A = this chain, B = another copy of it.
């Protein structure tokens, strides 16, 4: 007999965010007066471009009204200008403005997948993809990418092993969150051939498209010929202009049936935010000098972080080509315990570090247990202090797997 209404199984089993899981421990550490360096979350400290903030300050409407469900025509025109500068060759009809890339992904899953359908995603992957798939009753089939080659695209035959009648799409994030890996032209072509061979959608989350280092150029599946019916791109202004709080993303595809279908889901929630779209319009005029400065800053941070991590005994960190994350391997029994211990038990000069255990970014049980994602979203001084803390912590942690012996991580050389 029931005595009160019950929550759903869907709700009970909904995966909690691995990024925010340790938040209560961080809160307690702060209450104890510890300074906590947040390397756990992709919230950059970089200032939003002045032109974007000015556009907000200069709004001149009297009625804060709904916009079109697909986004205002004027914002979509600016987006066309932005993407066509990068040779996407899109029109306003190929774009749907969304509340962050998150909403774009949910709409794509609803438009393209039925309950029980499968999507193949190289792991580790952005943990919320699991949540979005769960919400749509879709099954994620992970294909393992490995730290030894810097999390490059797994061999295509590994994807093919997973393909069944239920497989509807391959889903990549490029540059990758959490690994920072930037896919090469050759890898994108391999994915193209796979999608054409099996009639699969190719979903591409490009939220970090502006963050490519060492002179590497960003390439999108939108640049590949013959894939117009297959590619759906998700994007967001969150990282590009340090405007995470705008909740402004978009959904891009040249597949007319898909965008028509997606529009029905967009209409159900009426409209994206109006002020965000006004700011987003201004954002497209952000001068190249802003990006040059930001990329220089991130490159320096990455170099510093990667060098500091690799100097620590038993730690291995690849040097990724994009985004602002690294996934590193640590000489610890369990990275989640270690991260929690750093917040609960450890401090150095009354400081500690919060990081995201990488296991939450894997879908295969047990994978990535000794890996951690670090976001280099703090200034270099804070980052240097965080690295000092981390090095000390690794020496003190009771669950370390190195005891006074030299250790060579797999693939370190």
Contacts and interface: CB of A to CB of B under 8 A. Distances in A.
Interface in A93-128: 99-100, 102-103, 106, 110-115, 117, 128
Interface stretch (A185-193, A262-270, A323-331): A262-270
A257 B7 CA distance: 7
Nearest to A46: B63
Given A63-B44, A229-B4, A245-B66, A12 B273 contact: no
A200 B279 CA distance: 43
A276 B243 CA distance: 13
Interface in A262-286: 262, 264-265, 267-276, 279
A269 B20 CA distance: 12
Which DSSP category, helix, strand, loop or mixed, fits chain A's interface? loop
A3 B199 CA distance: 6
A372 B245 CA distance: 39
A135 B110 contact: yes
A185 B229 CA distance: 55
Given A56-B275, A131-B268, A261-B11, A242 B112 contact: no
Given A5-B201, A65-B43, A11 B269 contact: no
A2 B199 contact: yes
Contacts of A66: 41, 43, 238, 244-245
Contacts of A7: 111-112, 257-258, 261
Interface stretch (A47-55, A293-301, A390-398): A47-55
Contacts of A131: 264-265, 267-268
A258 to B, nearest CB: 6
A62 interface: yes
Interface residues of A, number: 86
A247 interface: yes
Interface of A: 2-5, 7-12, 14-17, 20, 41, 43-48, 52-53, 56-59, 61-67, 69, 99-100, 102-103, 106, 110-115, 117, 128, 131-132, 135, 137, 168-169, 199-201, 229-230, 238, 241-247, 255, 257-258, 261-262, 264-265, 267-276, 279
Given A11-B261, A128-B268, A247-B247, 18 more contacts: A4-B199, A5-B169, A5-B230, A11-B264, A12-B261, A14-B261, A17-B69, A43-B65, A47-B62, A56-B275, A64-B246, A100-B269, A102-B270, A131-B265, A135-B268, A244-B270, A246-B273, A275-B276
